[in-house]
Chain A
Amino acid sequence: MANNLFGQYRYKNTLIHKLDPRTKILLLIFVSIFLFILKSYSSFVLISSFIIFLVIISKIKLTNILRNLRPFLFFFIFIFLMYFLFSRNELHKGIITIWRFTLLIITASILTFSTTTSQLVDAIEKLFAPLKLFRISPRNIAVMVSATIRFIPLLFSEAGKIRDAQKSRGANLKKVKHITGFTNALIRKTFDKASNLADAMESRCYRDYNHSHFNELKIGIKDCASALFTVLILGGALWIKI
């Protein structure tokens, strides 16, 4: 599951893939805010059409989108049942809520499918640049995010190995005593991995100043046009009816 949620970038030669990651992050934030402002079916239909258009032009497979939505299915059913059982006269609100979260997940999926971790990290670093005023290094924050994304699948795999090793020695992971043993082993492994990673980073001359970027970020005409187009669609949705 971790591999599905993180590091799911797939290289495709599309406009969405070529956009500056900062544009994509800011537009994702912008769309998310609008999804929470809008409340009517008609505006949701317009935004949904726009997001489906984005999925099509970014050439993301429908199966990948559905795979990202699957973990939230229980959550959606829960919301629907709550409205259905306790607030049936406001059922449309429940439908809008589920619709909203579905669109949010799809929009976030477009970002993660079309943007590499390093591009995301570079964008975060640039967007957090004002933090330098408070002597906080944006590079350190960006690398922390990158390392976390990179290591989550690894930690899942380590957790699987520890669980198997403990089960093979008769551990029952429903018992608190055995859960403690499992957790201790996982924490120890995590610290080991963090220490090794720190050594590897240091060995490759890591520093949070005077560094360059593999991907040079540039806001171009495509970014401006995409931002304008998104703003027009969102404005249209707002104009139709909140």
Chain B
Amino acid sequence: MIKLTNVFFLYNEKPVLANISCSIKEGNSVAIIGHNGSGKTTLIKHLNGLLIPTKGEVIVDGLNTKHNDWEIKQKIGFVFQNPEDQLINSIVGEDVAFGLENLGLPSNEIKKKVKDILNKLNISHLAKENVNNLSFGQKQLVALAGILVMNPKYIVFDEPTSVLDPRNKGNIKRIMSKLNKEGTTIILVTQNLEDISGFVKRVIVLNQGKIVFNDKKEKLNKAILKKADLYGE
């Protein structure tokens, strides 16, 4: 379980997150929504220790992000908005292997895991391709493969569909839903209300660094969305 307790985060002495307390249970599918600048990305960067709270604490399966960030990063995979920014090696197979290399797995095990994950995502034909030659949708799948291959318990998706065409958007949504059915906890960050249809069970709404709603998706209503500046006229 991920548990945030009274989390405050200040940037240039201005509060970006203010008194955030919530928990995300294993196997759940949670959407974090909010307008631009509401603190969504700052919040999720606290989940795997990329940011450390100015005040308060984030506990993942009993481990505090202040002291155990490397162990926590193995548990929480992070798919960034722009795949261009997270592909580190030039060749697909080698990029997917990057995380496993850091975990120190033997070469033959890395190769097997990379092959399996590329097969699972139907991109095994890209294994030896240069990432610079791929389409945006393919890059997003390679970035996802690089996370899934590490077999994380929780996966955070930071607006994964915001720059994709409808076909690739549908593909990523299907993958998220399938992963959740297989038991992976999905944390989806979005500002697009369409994205929370389907597999998402719980919604956290952020506004100006504060949680204004944290409940089942069905309970989300127009008034809350208006309050969070998410309801267009």
Q: Measuring CB to CB, which residues of chain A are less than 8 angstroms from any residue of chain B?
A: 3, 6-9, 11, 116-118, 121, 143, 146-147, 149-150, 153-154, 193, 196-197, 199-207, 210-216
B11-19, B89-97, B174-182, B190-198 - the one binding chain A: B89-97
Q: Does B101 count as interface, using CB distance less than 8 angstroms?
A: yes
Of the candidates A9, A117, A196, A200, the one having the most CB atoms from chain B within 10 angstroms of its own CB is A200
- Is B130 on the interface with A (CB-CB < 8 A)? yes
Which of B1-9, B57-65, B79-87 is near enough to bind chain A?
A: B79-87
- Say whether, besides A7-B132, A150-B89, A212 and B105 are in contact (CB < 8 Å): yes
Residue in chain A with minimal CB distance to B133:
A3
Q: A9-B90, A150-B90 are in contact. List 20 more A-B contacts (CB 8 A).
A: A3-B132, A7-B90, A8-B130, A116-B90, A146-B90, A193-B85, A199-B78, A203-B78, A204-B98, A204-B99, A204-B150, A205-B73, A207-B70, A211-B102, A212-B101, A212-B105, A213-B101, A214-B100, A215-B107, A216-B107
Number of A-B residue pairs having CB atoms within 8 Å of each other in the complex: 115
28 A-B residue pairs with CB within 8 Å? A116-B89, A116-B94, A117-B89, A117-B94, A118-B89, A118-B97, A146-B88, A150-B87, A153-B132, A154-B132, A193-B84, A196-B80, A196-B85, A201-B98, A203-B76, A203-B86, A204-B88, A204-B99, A204-B147, A204-B150, A205-B73, A205-B99, A205-B150, A212-B100, A212-B101, A214-B93, A214-B111, A216-B107
Q: Which residues from chain B contact A7 at a C-beta distance below 8 Å?
A: 90, 130, 132
Q: How far apart sit A11 and B102, CA to CA, in the bound complex (Å)? A: 25
User: Are A196 and B87 touching (Cβ within 8 A)?
Assistant: no
User: How many Å lie between the Cα of A116 and that of B105 in the bound state?
Assistant: 20
In the complex, are the beta carbons of A214 and B73 less than 8 A apart? no
Q: Which residues of B contact A154 (CB under 8 A)?
A: 84, 132
Q: Which 7 A-B pairs have the closest CB atoms?
A: A200-B86, A196-B85, A118-B94, A214-B97, A204-B99, A203-B78, A216-B107
Query: Which of B80, B90, B128 contacts A149 (CB under 8 A)?
Result: B90
- Any chain A CB within 8 A of the CB of B34? no
List chain A residues, Cβ under 8 A from B104.
Answer: 210-212
A96 to chain B, nearest CB (A): 35
Query: For chain B residues 116-133, which have a beta carbon within 8 Å of chain A?
Result: 128, 130-132
Chain B residue at minimal CB-CB distance from A214? B97
A201 near B94 (CB under 8 angstroms)?
no
* Closest residue on chain A to residue B128 by CB atoms: A11
B residues less than 8 Å from A143 (CB atoms): 88
Could you mark each residue 16-50 of chain B with 1 if its beta carbon is under 8 Å from any beta carbon of chain A, else 0? 00000000000000000000000000000100101
Who on chain B is nearest to A11 by CB? Answer: B128
Bitwise interface map of B from 216 to 227 toward A, beta carbon under 8 Å scored 1, else 0 = 000000000000
Which residues of the partner chain A approach B147 to less than 8 Å between Cβ atoms? 204
B74 interface contact, C-beta 8 A:
yes
Contact A200 B110 (CB under 8 A): no
| A190 → B minimal CB distance (Å) | 12
Given A200-B86, A212-B101, A214-B114, check contact A205 B80 (CB 8 Å).
no
Closest to A199 in B: B50
Q: Which residues of A contact B110 (CB under 8 A)?
A: 212, 214
- Give the distance in Å from the alpha carbon of A197 to the alpha carbon of B50 in the complex: 12
In the bound complex, CA of A94 to CA of B14 (Å): 65
* Closest chain B residue to A121, Cβ basis: B89
Asked if B73 and A203 sit within 8 Å, CB to CB, the answer is: yes
